[in-house]
Amino acid sequence: MRRMATRRDFTFHGNGRELTAFYAEPEQPAGADPDAPLPPHPAVIVVHEIMGLNDDIRQIATRFADSGYVALAPDLVGAGFKPLCIARFMRGMSRVAHGRPYREMRAFHDWLAARPQVDPDRIGMAGFCAGGGFAILYAARGGRELRAVAPFYAGLPADMSIIPDVCPVVASYGGRDRTFGSNGPVLEAALEAAGVPHDVKTYPDAGHSFMSRHDGPLMAAMARGPMRVAHDPDAAEDAWGRMLAFFGEHLAPRDVPVS
């Protein structure tokens, strides 16, 4: 019988407080000793949207694990009064490399890199919405060991001079998103000028947050707003395939499938 893969929430002490994340690892390959430890794998840090860690991000992390990656989805917003926590997260993001989210991500990154199941030289990051913008900033200023980063419908750095310091980028945007959708060509031009390997694509029929499945009246209202927030299965699957292919080139060992 194959060993059951670990997929769970956990907490550890770091940066002066209890930090929470969701962790998911691949199953042992068929035919492997079920009692043997999982050999070192490439890993992906999954950075949530503005509301913090939720089941949608857990599902994305789990899908990474099903694709052969150890996945860690930290909660950078934290528990408490949600509007205050979100405001603190956004304020910390603006202090590039020094704010609390960067310090906490460094603790998560170090924790992940120290796992025996992880090859510390093959860690990437995928970020969504606010997490996508954070991923670009962290890759340039806080986590230069990252080998690839995948920002989705991300804001651009206020200081675009950091772009030459970013690792290879695979980015995705929704063309119907009137807030962030125009960032794709700008990011692509900056990466091209800096000589950073990249794959940037804008999906003309998709809106913001097209990778995620959100419910409730707030999401219904946002679907009619300028960002046109809605899941788009066609764009999501194409973007997922592009991301895995890109990570397969920059992160994965040759024997890990990329689709």
Residue 117 included in any domain: yes
Domain range for residue 24? 9-29+37-250
What is the total count of domains within the chain? 1
Residue 100 included in any domain: yes
Q: Are strands 70-74 and 41-47 parallel, antiparallel or unpaired?
A: parallel
10 Å CB burial of residue 103 (0-12, 13-18, 19+) is middle
The dihedral sign for the CA sequence 112, 114, 117, 122: positive
What is the reported pLDDT for 228? 83
Least confident of 1-15, 125-139, 162-176, 179-193: 1-15
Residue 4 included in any domain: no
pTM above 0.85, yes or no: yes
Q: What is the pLDDT of residues 78-90, one digit of tens each?
A: 888 889 999 999 9
Domain of 136, CATH number, reads: 3.40.50.1820
Q: What is the pLDDT of residues 121-152, one digit of tens each?
A: 999 999 999 999 999 999 999 888 999 999 99
Residue 242 included in any domain: yes
